Structure 1
Amino acid sequence: MHLPRSPIISSHYAGWNGISLEYHRQPAHEMPEYCIPYHTLSIGLGYRAKEFKVNGRVHKDFVAGNVGICPANQSLSTQAYGKAEFILLTVDPTKFAQTAYEAVNTEKLEIVSQIRGFDPLIYQMSLALKHELESNELDSQLYAESMATALSVHLLKRYSARKQVIKNYTGGLPQYKLREAVTYINEHLEQKLTLAEIADLLQMSPHYFATLFKQSTGLAPHQYITQCRIEQAKRLLTNRELTLIEICQQVGFQSQSHFTKVFRKYTATTPKVYRKLL
């Protein structure tokens, strides 16, 4: 997509899988017809002018919170009459198709386009992903992967051409599978763990695994992994021969500043102060 200005924030270098995010502030502009090979969601944050032309048709009264949806490989032309602040989310059709098959047992699904509407869940997801990218770019992959799955399920529920009955997974993971997942997580905290990797270990789909794991533990996989990393860091801090950067690396954080930020969130203090108080 050729916009006048580059995005202010982009997940391009963050290593996200199945989903991408760009945060834009663009002047008035006109874009000729283009085709994006991804399911694309435009989330409006602010508009100077409230009119847009899409495929030759003028749409008025755009306000913050509007969500537009363009299915993959659909041609689109746009003309913005004033400055606009927005987030672009793209979902890989392969990721979407995989989630669709897991959720409704079908491989052929059509997403309905939407030029302007309200969807509080997509709006909040986009802001959460933007915040995660701004705060924790190097450590945001697992969070983004989880959100890609959740967003795909939401698109299936609300924007399929035909109403879909989503499978209702209940009961949590069998105890032996939960133990296997927890053991694997704790033995690989220093690595970049992915939802697909853990699900594959248990011979389950990522969506199925994430749903049942949360039912069993009360936490989404990315939340549980972060909690395990902080608990392991607390144990390692008792060994004063280890430096803070060594501990940071051993519990899987890519930067010491992010490690300190997350540690403070979970313990109300920094690793350095926590060690002094031991």
Structure 2
Amino acid sequence: MAIMLARSPGFRFAFDSERPRLFDVTEGMFGVAPAGTECKSEWSTTTESVVVALSPESMHELAGHELDRPDVEIRPINYTIDNTALQFAKMIKAELSRAEHASELYLDSLITLLGVHVLRSYSSAAKPLKPVDGGLSTIAANRIREYLHEHFRRKLTISELAATCGLSPGYFTQAFAKTFGIPPHRYVLERRLDFAEKLLAGTQMPVAEIAYLSGFSSQSHLTNIMKTHRDKTPRQFR
């Protein structure tokens, strides 16, 4: 999946042995190359794009969750305007461009939703994405709250969290935000910060050790996140 982020004239693209198509790229053009499909592209000027690759196994699993049809086929798309894909691409780029460490759970959420969009728009089972009207059920909300209370310090994926509630990844991501008022990655981040603050205020552990125990990759990662979201440095909590 390739999403163009800026205008670029003189772009040439073709699938397999088809005749190359020459066109000017504009922002929001979206191309999809199914697994095993050969494609060639040429460009005469600088291009800017976000490219996302998902394995066939991942797409089949996602299709099974979202459409109850793991056998769907993805259609090759020779670049068309797709504003939904463009918004996902901009958010992915912004997260990857952060000065501090990017949130893996947030990126996983964006890529999962982009995959759902492709399945619903460019596959043999294509159908429009229905908005989630309500949030999680009380049982599901309590279950995921307890699960995150236990596991927030380790690496998590949207598929794992959705499975805890017995929901598809795409539905879970939207329903979680409606229930808790923030997306899953932000909820996990807040739990990690709360835990780090308690250790900073109640122990004499080194900050680097507290960062590791709280789920952050380094002391500088904890410091940057804490300054951004709590307006304080770790030392100010002691």
Distance 1:137 1:158, change over 3 A: farther
Q: Which moved more, 1:49-58 or 1:236-245?
A: 49-58
Partner of 1:109: 72
Calculate the TM-score normalised by the size of structure 2: 0.83
Aligned to 1:89: 52
Q: Residues 73 and 201 from structure 1, CA distance in 2 versus in 1: closer, same or farther, beyond 3 angstroms?
A: same
Per the normalisation by structure 1, the TM-score is: 0.72
Question: In 2 relative to 1, CA 48–184 (structure 1 residues): closer, same or farther, beyond 3 Å?
Answer: closer
The one-letter code of the counterpart of 1:125 is F
Q: Does 1:148 align with 2:116?
A: no
1:42 aligns with 2:5: no
Aligned residues of 1:56 and 1:77 also touching (Cα < 8 A): no
* Counterpart secondary structure, 1:82: coil
Against the structure 1 CA distance between its residues 270 and 181, is the aligned structure 2 distance closer, same or farther, given a 3 Å change threshold?
same
Distance 1:198 1:107, change over 3 A: closer
SS in structure 1 opposite 2:119?
helix
Give CA-to-partner distance per residue, 1:128-152, whole Å, 9 cap, x none: 2233234388663322222222112
1:233 to 182, 196, 203: 196
Q: CA offsets, 1:202-238, max 9 Å, x none?
A: 4444344334322321222212111111222222221
Distance in 1 separating the partners of 2:61 and 2:129: 14
Q: How many residues align?
A: 235
Q: 5 Å matches for 1:190-205?
A: 190-205=153-168
Which structure 1 segments of 5+ residues have no match?
A: 1-40
Query: Whole-Å Cα distance in 2 between the matches of residues 102 and 167 of structure 1?
Result: 15
SS of 1:109 mapped into structure 2: coil
1:259 partnered with 2:222: yes
Distance 2:26 2:40 in 1: 20
Superposed CA RMSD in Å reads: 2.7
- Letter paired with 1:43: I
1:157 alignment partner in structure 2: 120
Distance 2:223 2:132 in 1: 36
User: Which is richer in helix?
Assistant: 2
Deviation at 1:246, TM superposition (A): 1.9
Question: The residue matched to 1:116 in structure 2 has which SS?
Answer: strand
Structure ranking higher in strand proportion: 1
Identity of aligned residues (%): 28
